[in-house]
Amino acid sequence: MILIDGKKIAAELREELRQEVVELKAKYNKIPGLTVILIGDMAPSQIYVRMKEKAANEVGLKSEVIRYPEAVEEKTVLDKIEELNKDESISGILVQLPLPKHIDKQKVIETILPGKDVDGFHPMNVGNLSSGYESSVPCTPLGCYLMIKKVEPNLSGKKAVMIGRSNLNGKPMAQLLLKENCTVTITHSKTKDLKAECLEADIIVAAVGIPELVKADWVKKDAIIIDVGINKTDNGIVGDVAFEEVSKVARALTPVPGGVGPMTIACLLKNTIESFKRSQK
Ligand code: NAD
């Protein structure tokens, strides 16, 4: 079984990106900038933002975190986004989710200029991705996609099953695999026989949030399994896949932690650099 080492692949990607930033600096005499807006003091968001900032600094991006208290007015945040939209030194704007209830998530997402939307959540980017045009792609599915391609460069004709249909994971993941000519099934909480769907799959991407939902007898021999789930349990953090038993059947599997997580952050940096390059065209 191939253990897909997301930590290692992400480190390699960051090194490539670091070199690219050096080249871009030499060519344009400026570097891509990423600004993250963080509202409130939820512990997981604080941790994610710190990891993003560290990674951005590591590859040499200009990086800034703007922090607001939980009670910040929506207008203050929208005005700041407008200001960043106009700032030519900023290539990527990310507003860390989730947001406090009084702030309209959709309004925030739609205020970010599509060209600077490094999370790939703006409807323009969602539409472009589903139309097969150039777009910003949400970081987690992009990271999953890059890991799948490392194991299997030719995905044409493969059967791929997404577990979960969120805008963050399942839907954009399906679009990326469709573009690679996979036959894609998106399953969700109302799917009648999830096990039967999974047993058909050459590739499974599990993004559900249920600890160890995917068992060994759900998995076809030699399937590639990507585990997006992050679930806190009494036994620590586990994914949506029963790692031990599935590792005996699968051809390749990502661990949790150390799989999709590090790739998500590296792909945010990749998206920021891509935005910068598009803006220079
Ligand atoms: P979500 O809650 O938005 O979506 C979950 C999806 O799972 C829904 O589409 C729902 O229909 C489906 N679902 C629920 N129960 C099901 C069942 N019994 N059978 C089949 N489908 C079912 O979640 P999300 O934001 O997509 O996140 C999913 C998981 O991925 C969470 O554990 C989250 O923490 C994790 N996550 C990890 C990363 C990372 O970087 N590693 C990034 C984002 C999310």
Q: What is the CATH number of the domain that holds 194?
A: 3.40.50.720
Same domain, 143 and 91: no
Q: What is the DSSP string of 76-97?
A: HHHHHHHHHHH-TT--EEEEPS
In the DSSP assignment, the letter for residue 98 is S
Q: Residue 281: what pLDDT?
A: 86
Q: How far apart are CA 4 and CA 150, in angstroms?
A: 9
Q: How far apart are CA 139 and CA 143, in angstroms?
A: 6
142-185 confidence digits (pLDDT tens):
999 999 999 999 999 999 999 999 999 999 999 999 999 999 99
User: Using CA atoms in the order 36, 39, 44, 48, what is the torsion angle rounded to 10 degrees?
Assistant: 0
Q: How far apart are CA 60 and CA 37, in angstroms?
A: 19
Q: How far apart are CA 49 and CA 40, in angstroms?
A: 12
Same domain, 69 and 169: no
Mutating to test ligand 1, I would choose from 189, 190, 254, 265 the residue with most ligand atoms within 8 A of its C-beta, which is 189
Closest CA to 218 of 182, 245, 184: 245
**Cβ contacts of residue 173 below 8 Å, gap of 6+?**
141, 144, 145, 162, 205, 207
| Nearest atom of ligand 1 to the alpha carbon of 259 | 41
Question: What is the phi/psi pair of residue 133, to 5°?
Answer: -95, 170
Judge whether 124 and 159 are in contact, CB under 8 Å: no
Judge whether 223 and 204 are in contact, CB under 8 Å: yes
Q: How far apart are CA 81 and CA 94, in angstroms?
A: 9
Catalytic site residue 119?
yes
| Residue 15 resides in a domain | no
Query: Among the three residues 67, 98, 113, which one is the final residue of a domain in this structure?
Result: 113
Query: Which domain range does residue 150 map to?
Result: 139-260
Provide the token pair at 203.
Answer: 């590739």
Judge whether 204 and 239 are in contact, CB under 8 Å: no
Nearest CA to ligand 1 atom 30: 229
Same domain, 105 and 160: no
266 CA to centre of ligand 1 in angstroms: 20
Same domain, 102 and 161: no
206 CA to centre of ligand 1 in angstroms: 8
| Residue 227 resides in a domain | yes
Supply the CATH number for residue 42's domain. 3.40.50.10860
Catalytic site residue 46?
no
In the chain, how many domains are there? Answer: 2
229 CA to centre of ligand 1 in angstroms: 7
| Residue 213 resides in a domain | yes
Same domain, 176 and 244: yes
5-40 confidence digits (pLDDT tens):
999 999 999 999 999 999 999 999 999 999 999 999
Judge whether 230 and 241 are in contact, CB under 8 Å: no
Angle between helices 43-58 and 260-280 (to 10 degrees): 60
Catalytic site residue 41?
no
The residue annotated as part of the active site, out of 80, 116, 117, 119, is: 119
pTM of the model: 0.98
| Residue 177 resides in a domain | yes
Same domain, 195 and 233: yes
Q: How far apart are CA 1 and CA 274, in angstroms?
A: 33
Same domain, 239 and 159: yes
Q: Do strands 236-238 and 231-233 pair parallel, antiparallel, or not at all (unpaired)? A: antiparallel
Query: Among the three residues 96, 113, 130, which one is the final residue of a domain in this structure?
Result: 113
Angle between helices 123-131 and 170-179 (to 10 degrees): 30
| Residue 147 resides in a domain | yes
In the DSSP assignment, the letter for residue 56 is H
| Residue 216 resides in a domain | yes
Same domain, 156 and 92: no
Same domain, 41 and 105: yes
Q: Which residues of the chain have pLDDT under 50?
A: none
Q: Which residues does ligand 1 sit against, CB inside 6 Å?
A: 140, 163-166, 168-170, 187-189, 191, 194, 207-210, 228-231, 260-261, 264
| Residue 11 resides in a domain | no
Same domain, 143 and 109: no
Same domain, 165 and 75: no
| Nearest atom of ligand 1 to the alpha carbon of 213 | 18
Same domain, 176 and 101: no
Closest CA to 145 of 160, 166, 167: 160
| Residue 164 resides in a domain | yes
